[in-house]
């Protein structure tokens, strides 16, 4: 779905492309009163004032009244009436009207959903320079709604919107190029768009840019820049960035190695439910790095991470049960955890699984497999 306009209607109008010259004095008076009421969030009064001017044919008032019906402010939300006024404005090639008619056609708001109509309205608005419509049009091609899925056309419209500062388009383009979804994978382009989005403060862009600098994808590998972007995302509460920042301190990449700082960031991420951070904390506990070695605490943390689907934690638990670290040796539980990790293709889980079975009876193997199946079902 396209992103609905959430800003105040007055701000929305000021950003539109409609220029109005009012020539009827009474209508202008109603319009001025309506604007004043809108600025004060007095939507019922604004609605009444704009309605009078709209009925007299004032295009600016019509834009406002259509928006009030669309948002349900000052009156009951009514997409049919909103559409009525937007259609009048559409005759004068108003891009905001085109956009909203596209939104209603796509969403089935006040009418039957019709993606073909949505495409036509969005394209008209896009050709007039409306970037929200440009982005929405790109999405329809991206996901194949009402049209054959076409990543090249999606990229074309995303690029147009992105070049005009549309954040959502920048993120979409960055993701398409990073993953090579329907287009040739291009980390350079991905980095370019993530950087533009990151500079606006977008947390997902900051995290992904940190990732690209960490691994030298599309940019020259630079641990310090990776840390810079990870930190900005981490400070906004992104748990993946917090975990990865912890790993940079853990490994001493771009910073002086510090288990203390690593633990600080791992803990922030772990509290937010980040399974990788939970597993990383468990590993430090297990090996006595930055903590006093404590197998029991390590197992507790590994189990939390394993419950969250973390394969490294599942593998580590398998080894601890196999070797009896902090627990009694339990080959059945070891097999179960190796099996869980193996289903995710983790490291040499399959080899560990095969080795464990050498020492197990058929009954034990079946028991372990059933336990793993129950675990997987419970986790869904």
Residue 1 has pLDDT above 80, yes or no: no
Please give the structure tokens belonging to residue 69.
């019906």
349's CB contacts (< 8 A; 6+ apart) are 311, 314, 315, 318, 338, 339, 341, 342
| Fold exhibited by the domain 1-128 | 1.25.40
Residue-range domain boundaries for the chain: 1-128
| pLDDT band (50, 70, 90) for residue 11 | very low
Confidence of residue 379 (pLDDT cuts 50, 70, 90): confident
Whether the pLDDT of residue 225 is over 60: the answer is yes
Residue 18's pLDDT is 35
Q: How confident is the model at residue 10 (pLDDT cuts 50, 70, 90)?
A: very low
- Rounded to an integer, what distance in angstroms lies between the CA atom of residue 305 and that of residue 379? 12
Mean pLDDT of 55-83: 96
**Measured between alpha carbons, how far is 368 from 362 in angstroms, rounded to an integer?**
10
Q: What is the tens place of the pLDDT at every residue in 319-362?
A: 999 999 999 999 999 999 999 999 999 989 999 999 999 999 99
Lowest mean pLDDT among 5-19, 189-203, 291-305, 354-368: 5-19
Q: What pLDDT, on a 0 to 100 scale, did the predictor assign at position 29?
A: 56
Q: What percent of the chain has pLDDT over 70?
A: 92
**Environment class of residue 294 by beta-carbon count within 10 Å: exposed (0-12), middle (13-18) or buried (19+)?**
middle
Spatial contact of 82 and 47, defined as CB atoms under 8 Å apart:
no
Task: Report whether pLDDT(268) > 80.
Answer: yes
Chain segment 125-143, per-residue pLDDT in tens: 999 999 999 999 999 999 9
Instruction: Using the predicted structure, report yes or no on whether residue 221 has a pLDDT greater than 50.
Output: yes
Report the alpha-carbon distance of residue 230 to residue 251 in Å, rounded.
Answer: 15
The answer for residues whose C-beta is within 8 angstroms of residue 130's C-beta and 6 or more apart is 17, 95, 96, 98, 99
Helix and strand element counts for the chain (H, E): 21, 0
Give the mean pLDDT of 92-118: 97
pLDDT tens across 17-43, in order?
A: 333 333 334 445 578 999 999 999 999
> Could you identify the residue written with the tokens 């464990």?
356
Confidence of residue 255 (pLDDT cuts 50, 70, 90): very high
- The count of other CB atoms within 10 Å of the CB of residue 176 is 23
CB 96 within 8 A of CB 9: no
């Amino acid at each position: 779905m396209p992103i609905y306009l959430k800003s105040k209607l007055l701000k929305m109008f000021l950003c539109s492309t409609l220029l109005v010259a009012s020539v009827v004095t009474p209508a202008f008076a109603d319009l001025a009163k309506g604007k004043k009421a809108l600025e004060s969030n007095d939507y019922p009064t604004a609605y009444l004032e704009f309605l009078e001017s709209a009925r007299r044919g004032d295009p600016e008032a019509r834009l406002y009244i259509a928006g009030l019906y669309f948002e349900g402010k000052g009156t009951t939300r009514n997409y049919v009436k909103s559409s009525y006024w937007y259609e009048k404005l559409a005759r004068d090639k108003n891009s905001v009207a085109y956009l909203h008619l596209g939104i209603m056609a796509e969403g089935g708001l006040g009418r039957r959903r019709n993606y073909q109509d949505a495409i036509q309205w969005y394209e008209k608005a896009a050709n007039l320079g409306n970037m929200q419509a440009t982005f929405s049009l790109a999405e329809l091609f991206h996901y194949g709604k009402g049209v054959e899925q076409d990543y090249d056309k999606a990229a074309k419209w995303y690029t147009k919107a992105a070049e005009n500062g549309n954040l959502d388009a920048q993120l979409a383009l960055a993701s398409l190029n990073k993953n090579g979804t329907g287009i040739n994978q291009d980390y350079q382009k991905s980095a370019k768009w993530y950087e533009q989005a990151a500079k606006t403060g977008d947390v997902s862009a900051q995290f992904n840019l940190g990732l690209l600098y960490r691994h030298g994808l599309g940019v020259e590998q630079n641990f310090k820049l990776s840390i810079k972007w990870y930190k900005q995302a981490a400070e906004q509460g992104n748990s993946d960035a917090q975990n990865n920042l912890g790993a940079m301190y853990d490994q001493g990449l771009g910073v002086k190695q510090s288990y203390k700082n690593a633990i600080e960031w791992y803990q922030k991420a772990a509290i937010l439910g980040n399974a990788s951070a939970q597993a990383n904390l468990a590993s430090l506990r297990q090996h006595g790095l930055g903590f006093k070695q404590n197998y029991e605490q390590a197992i507790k943390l590994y189990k939390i991470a394993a419950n969250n689907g973390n394969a490294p934690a599942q593998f580590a638990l398998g080894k601890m049960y196999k070797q009896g670290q902090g627990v009694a040796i339990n080959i059945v539980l070891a097999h179960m955890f190796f099996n869980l990790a193996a289903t995710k293709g983790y490291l040499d889980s399959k080899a560990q699984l095969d080795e464990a079975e050498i020492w197990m009876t058929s009954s034990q193997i079946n028991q372990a497999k059933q336990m793993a199946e129950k675990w997987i079902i419970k986790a869904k």
